[in-house]
Amino acid sequence: MRLPLFIFLFSISAFCAAQPSSEEDNLTSRLNFGSSLPKGILSQRSIVLYEIAYTNEELQEVQKHFQQAGIDAVSYLDVDYVLSGIDPSRVLSNYFNTRAIKFLILLQKEKDRYQIIITEYNNTRNLADKEHTSWKQSNASLRELLRTVYRFAVSSERKANFLISDLPEAGASLNFYRGKRDERFSPDVRQFKTAIPRFGNESDDKELEVFLKETLPTKYDLVDPDLTDSELEEKGYRLVLRFVHTRGDVAREILGYDVTQTASSLSTNYFENDEQKIKTIRAKKMIYKFYFKNTEYGNIFLGTKWDADESWQDGLRNHILALRSELKI
């Protein structure tokens, strides 16, 4: 499944509410902030991760100041794509590595206050960590914020990046899933043991364990979330349960749904007292969409109906109950 990556959604960004997602918070919580720009920002390549609240004009303004300062931002990506889940993050980290990316620049915007975070890319799917010093600034004026970036940059090191694009670059073609996509459930879940990655925090992992014991009557093991598909296959797991946590419209694009059919609200199938019902969730809301993945071939099984929801608990319940209903288990 080959997808055009991160087509700019500038025409709709102006009226989207802006606040950092929990995935952004997870990323920034891993950073160690200092008073100086990371060394090498004017000689190495950077990727810009922007929130949807940024308009086309604002991103062009950002690129203009970066060009003047000597910051080589080679691509601008919607942050909700980049932080959407394990599968996309592994593909994107490979993409960053092939483009020799050294720095990540996060553009945040909330209630007309702008913030920029610059950190060193750590060459893994986790993107960044406390091992490298990061830098941030904020201002009510985007232009003043960018002037601050310019002053820090030109006073910190000599400019070595000269061939910098005038406009923000968007567009790439990445294969998020090497196998086929299937809007059904895999019957293999009946016979083979499924790997279910832990979340990595005690409270969610305990809740996940209790939920699965009560709801999933098939063979499974809770596993380390850092294990790759090939490592899981070697351990004897035919399937792994994955999810994306991002905006509904982004999730549909990543998972290969027909985005021309994505409206401003999405109809989600859920269960109430064992009865299947439908509710609507705005397409720009952050949701969890679960799916099963074949560890050998990379085929993904999305289920027969859209069942994403706003919490992981509801999204997982929707998916597991739909699986049980469809496969009669």
Mean pLDDT in the chain? 91
Rounded Cα–Cα distance for residues 7 and 43 (Å): 27
The pLDDT, as a whole number, for residue 236 is: 97
Eight-class DSSP state of 309: B
> Can you give the pLDDT at residue 11?
38
Report d(CA 291, CA 302) in Å as an integer.
5
How many whole angstroms from its chain centre is CA 98? 19
User: In angstroms, rounded to a whole number, what is the distance separating the alpha carbons of residues 151 and 91?
Assistant: 35
**Which of 44, 39, 38, 66 lies closest to 160 in space, CA to CA?**
44
CA distances from 79 to 29, 184, 252 (A): 16, 29, 16
Q: Tens digits of per-residue pLDDT, 176-187?
A: 898 999 999 999
Q: What is the pTM of this model?
A: 0.91
| SS3 assignment, position 40 | coil
* pLDDT at residue 21 tops 90: no
Euclidean distance between the first and final Cα of the chain, in Å? 30
- 51-82: b (≥16 Cβ within 10 Å) or e: bbbbeeebbebbbebbbebbbbbbbbbbbbbb
Tell me the two tokens of residue 281: 């969730």
